[in-house]
Amino acid sequence: MTATKALNGFTPSRRYSAGANTVQTRNYRIASGTASNIFTGDLVHLNLGNVSVLGATDGSEVPIGVFMGCYFEADGEPTFSKHWPANTSASNAYAIVCDDPQATFELQADASCTVGDIMQTNFEVTAGAGSTFTGRSGMGLEVATRTSGTAALVRIIDFVDTPGNDIDVSAERAFPICEVQLIQHQLTRVSSGNPTFFKGIFFSRFFFIKGFFFHLFCIPVSTGPGKITLDLIFLFAY
């Protein structure tokens, strides 16, 4: 029941425009001695080749994805764990990260939302406290940070269709479970300033003129979701 607040981080749902359980994961290194706990469902980012829990959840740091557990060797013992224990001295330490920029996630809100939030507003994430017993994150959607700007982390794209989570029932929307997508992602960010997203090839054309073969294509680039600000146009002759 979403009348109860029980924040437990990000749970992979699907790839946007695809069916359930279609997201991908990748292994990333964890530096031995990493000083903070990392819990399943935490946002993580990549820094100097290693992942760590996102230190700022207000959009000023950009995530690489969601932590889904880890493997490491400590004192010669191989260990699979739902969370990374802070300050662990280990070798061959790897985080399993859901790093698909098109992935969507289930994330509980820390207050009431409405259908008017769908695809309209962005939110920061409340850090919360993870559990070393369950290994789960304590992150959630921070409703009080609702904004139309892009300096945030997630956008609600829907509400999870599950019993007890009916957004039209006041008691069930007290702490709704939202389907969200990251609006900033390290795999799509190409500058150190505002986040920049490649939107895919907009068009591609081939021409054969006077013995030469030409390939013309355009890649729109944006500084935020839905904001195309520049078209990169390329022309190759063969």
pLDDT in tens, 187-228: 987 544 444 444 444 445 555 565 655 555 455 554 444 444
Position 229 confidence tier, pLDDT thresholds 50, 70, 90 = very low
Is the domain of 225 the same as that of 124?
no
Whether 130 maps to a domain, the answer reads yes
**Buried b or exposed e, range 161-198, using 16+ CB within 10 angstroms:** eeeebebeeeebbbbbbbbbbbbbbbbbbeeeeebbbe
Question: What domain count does the chain have?
Answer: 2
At residue 122, does pLDDT exceed 50?
A: yes
Residue from 10, 3, 4, 1 nearest 178 by CA = 10
Same domain flag for 175 and 221: no
Q: Are residues 121 and 178 in the same domain?
A: yes
Q: Establish if 4 belongs to a structural domain.
A: no
Q: Does one domain contain both 117 and 226?
A: no
Half-sphere exposure of 97 (CA within 13 A, CB side): 30
Asked whether residue 5 is domain-assigned, the answer is: no
Is 130 or 234 the better-scoring residue by pLDDT? 130
Model pLDDT for residues 16-46, shown as the tens digit of each residue: 877 666 678 999 999 999 999 999 999 999 9
Mean pLDDT of the chain: 81
Do 238 and 213 touch, CB atoms closer than 8 A? yes
- Say yes or no: 106 and 223 in one domain: no
Domain, as residue range, for 66: 11-182
Q: Are 155 and 79 in contact (CB under 8 A)?
A: no
pLDDT at position 5:
87
Count of CA atoms in the C-beta half-sphere (13 A) of 112: 11
Confidence tier at 127 by pLDDT (50, 70, 90): confident
Q: What is the pTM assigned to this prediction? A: 0.77
Q: Encoding tokens for residue 112? A: 């009431």
Mean pLDDT (whole number) for 65-89: 94
Cα–Cα distance, 62 to 141 (Å, whole number): 16
Q: Tell me, what's the pLDDT at 23? A: 78
Residue of 35, 31, 26, 135 lying closest to 80 (CA atoms): 135
Q: Using alpha carbons, list the distances in angstroms from residue 205 to 177, 215, 233.
A: 44, 6, 11
CB 136 within 8 A of CB 108: no
Residue 172 has pLDDT above 80, yes or no: no
Say if residue 55 is in the same domain as residue 89.
yes
